[in-house]
Amino acid sequence: MLKVEVNGHEFEMELDSGAARSVIPESVWIDMGKPRVTPCRGQLKAYGGNKLPIKGNCRVEVTFEGRHSEVEIAVMEGRGQALFGRDLIRALNLDMGPHYVKQVKAEEKILPSTEKQLKEEFAELFGDDQGTYKGPEVELRFKKAPVPIFFKARPVPFALKSQVDKKLDELEAKGELKKVMNAEFASPLVIVPKPDGEIRLCVDFKRTINPQLDIPEHPLPTTEVIFQALNGGKKFSKVDLKSAFNQLKLAKDSQKVCTVSTQKGLYQYTRLPFGISSAPAIFQATMDRILQGIPNTAVYLDDITVTGETDGKHLENLREVLKRLRDAGLRLKADKCEFFKKEITLLGHIINAEGIKALPQKIEAIQNMPAPRNLKELTSVLGMIQYYAKFVKGLSTIAAPLNQLRKKGEKWDWGPQQQYAFSQLKKKLTSSEVLVHYDPKIPVRLSTDACDYGIGAQLEHVYPDGSVKVIGYASRSLIPAERNYAQIEKEGLGIVYGVNKFNQYLFGRRFTLLTDHAPLVRIFGPKMGLPTVAARRLQRWATQLMAYSFDIEYVPTDKFGNADGLSRLPNPKEKPTKAARVEDLSVAAIAETITYPIAFKELEEETENDKILAQVVKWVKKGWPKKCPQDQLVPYFRKRHSLTIQKGCLLKGN
């Protein structure tokens, strides 16, 4: 790449001695202040004879290594790489020796217009319609003859009934659902409100067909297989499928077991629905069949990555991928596709022409962990150290200055010795002694935790000898609205945060989820249906987790040091996602737009003045006792998992 000054603005231009004309993309032309453009005489063509979309020519002052010249340069529509061609080499009287010249064959050069040309050539792939796989229909397999289980429709909040009716009608019109008069199987519909006011319809298959399904033994590709396929690539393209599972049609017998009970009656899914536990393996097998044999191509569920040893080979492989997807009847999500990028992220790694390296985000939670400020935070840090001490030599020795502060009668004095020990421990926790690359063949365990002001998550591999190694750490502080959540909601938020943070490792495989909050084992457990009386947030999060296949286990807090330390000393540099902020803004907005006969402030004041309700609010925020100490509090204790707080008021369920 050459650093070139054009009209006083410095840009990087790629040297291409095979190009007769120099080209700048429209984005660079805009940055330069849109100098006057004149019509282009003749046509410019890319390799293969395709006409380039030229906006026109403009005269500019070019400076490179002390040499100046006023030249006419072509402006190409859209974004892309600026090219330093033979016209600029001559105008600046340059001798482009080995220090500058990259030996680039003309047939290997892919110009910025390639993406536009591909989207035009394969326009059908990027259409708005729902794709339909032209291959065999999906037949769900069962461990033995399935036992019919029927759930009646759950009550729908009156305010959402019209939206639910409209959504059901839309899905029926699109052919994704079909109305039936009776059925042996029926799973309940779950309505998930979205921040923008819309709703998403999901189905709770956890207690009906999922436990009975025989999951196909089609493993997801290992990172070694994926990285080997992409080895030697110079640039990379990623192709993303639209509503991936829904593009596969269900066989008639499988449609019968995928019946959903709704307020409008019974419907059967005609396409592979969200929440079926065998769907990821079925989809991976389908994609492997479609794309098998294409060089330098890796498939991981609905993410397809393509490269090549040269730009020409890359384009050849990419065209074959797009052709096969089109011939199979599938559709792509245009805004999620990337073409000819110098660097991409995949499965927690950065991939470029130089090789593969781990994403720094995996260890930032430890690297940015602040020093403990008191004995309670120090105890959490030492809990992490104790957790890994049995697997990593020397941790306990390094931690000695920190343990000194825990001795009875010892004054809190965080000095240079303690800070040095803390820094060394963080280095140990992010070293190869503790960290390991993700391997789909090895069992995975996710631990999550929450405290009053932070949430933390840790993903680990568990080996046959019982030892563990970390795949990644994550933590963040709670925003003010989240700090007002009930304790059970904070713990639930920690689980959803961890699953979302490590989604690329967890989706499509079975894993174990650990929590030190026993009630969540029941609410989020795969063997339990979604609780109809759980607080709204917990219901929504339980629905999100339906997409994953996991076992959930309770671990006593005193044995949960790994995740506890992350939540109590959260990464100060990690910010909550936009979705987290929007959720609480939308809740507040809804509250403000509804007129109530009594103000929230009055309810809050009266709640604080009521001894019983004040105690209940305290427990909701800080956590409930194991046994109810007073008879007057028993009714609230029985409903404790459905209680939450909004604007200082105690709320139940939805």
The pLDDT tens digits of the residues spanning 563-598 come to 888 888 888 888 776 555 444 444 443 333 344 445
| 433 neighbors 392 (Cβ within 8 angstroms) | yes
Instruction: Please state whether beta strands 177-180 and 187-193 pair in parallel, antiparallel, or not at all (unpaired).
Output: unpaired
Q: Which CATH architecture has domain 360-594?
A: 2-Layer Sandwich (3.30)
**167 contact partners, CB below 8 Å, separation of at least 6:** 199, 201
Q: Is 519 helix (H, G, I), strand (E, B) or coil?
A: helix
Are 541 and 583 in contact by the 8 Å Cβ rule? The answer is: no
Cα 85 from Cα 62, distance rounded (Å): 13
Predicted pLDDT at 45: 63
Q: What would you report as the CA-atom Rg of the chain, rounded to the nearest whole angstrom?
A: 29
User: Rounded to whole angstroms, how far apart are CA atoms 548 and 495?
Assistant: 12
DSSP code of 33? T
pLDDT of residue 79: 65
Question: Is 378:402 a contact under the CB 8 Å cutoff?
Answer: yes
The C-alpha atoms of residue 374 and residue 377 are separated, in whole angstroms, by 6
| CATH 3.30.420.10 domain span(s) along the chain | 360-594
Q: Quote the distance between the C-alpha of residue 10 and its chain's center.
A: 36
The Cα 438–Cα 380 span in angstroms is: 26
Q: What is the DSSP letter of 394?
A: T
Distance separating alpha carbons of residues 637 and 620, to the nearest angstrom: 10
pLDDT digits (tens, 9 = 90+) for 379-404: 888 888 888 877 777 888 898 999 88
Q: Tokens at residue 492, please?
A: 């639930």
Residue 293 makes CB contacts below 8 A (sequence gap 6+) with: none
Locate 469 and state its tokens: 């190694």
> Which residues in the chain are classed under CATH 3.10.10.10?
113-354
Q: SS3 for 118?
A: helix
Distance from the Cα of residue 619 to its chain's centroid: 33
For residue 194, count other CB atoms closer than 10 A to its CB.
Answer: 13
CATH 2.40.70.10 fits 2-112, yes or no: yes
The half-sphere exposure of 416 on its side-chain side, counting CA atoms within 13 A, is: 0
pTM of the model: 0.64
DSSP string over 245-268: GGGSBBPHHHHHHSEEEETTEEEE
Fold entry, domain 113-354: HIV Type 1 Reverse Transcriptase; Chain A, domain 1 (3.10.10)
Phi, psi of 249 (to 5 degrees): -85, 145
Task: Retrieve residue 100's tokens.
Answer: 């500058």
* The predicted structure's pLDDT at residue 125: 94
Query: Each residue of 10-67: pLDDT tens digit?
Result: 888 877 776 778 888 887 888 788 888 988 877 776 544 556 778 889 999 888 887 8
Report whether 298 contacts 220 (CB < 8 A): no
Q: What does the CA dihedral 402, 407, 410, 412 come to, rounded to 10 degrees?
A: 40
* Cα 62 to Cα 7, 34, 282, 511, distances in angstroms: 7, 15, 56, 58
Residues of the chain with CATH 2.40.70.10: 2-112
Helix (H) or strand (E) holding 646: strand 643-646
CA distance 373 to 633: 37
Reduced to 3 states (helix: H, G, I; strand: E, B; else coil), residue 121 is: helix
What is the rounded CA–CA span in Å between residue 57 and residue 72?
A: 6
Residues of the chain with pLDDT under 70: 18, 45-51, 78-80, 95-113, 193-197, 358, 526-536, 577-602, 647, 653-654
User: What are 475's two structure tokens?
Assistant: 């933590």
**Cα-flanking dihedrals φ and ψ of residue 260, to 5°?**
-120, 135
The distance in angstroms from the start CA to the end CA of the chain is 58
223 touches 438 (CB < 8 A): yes
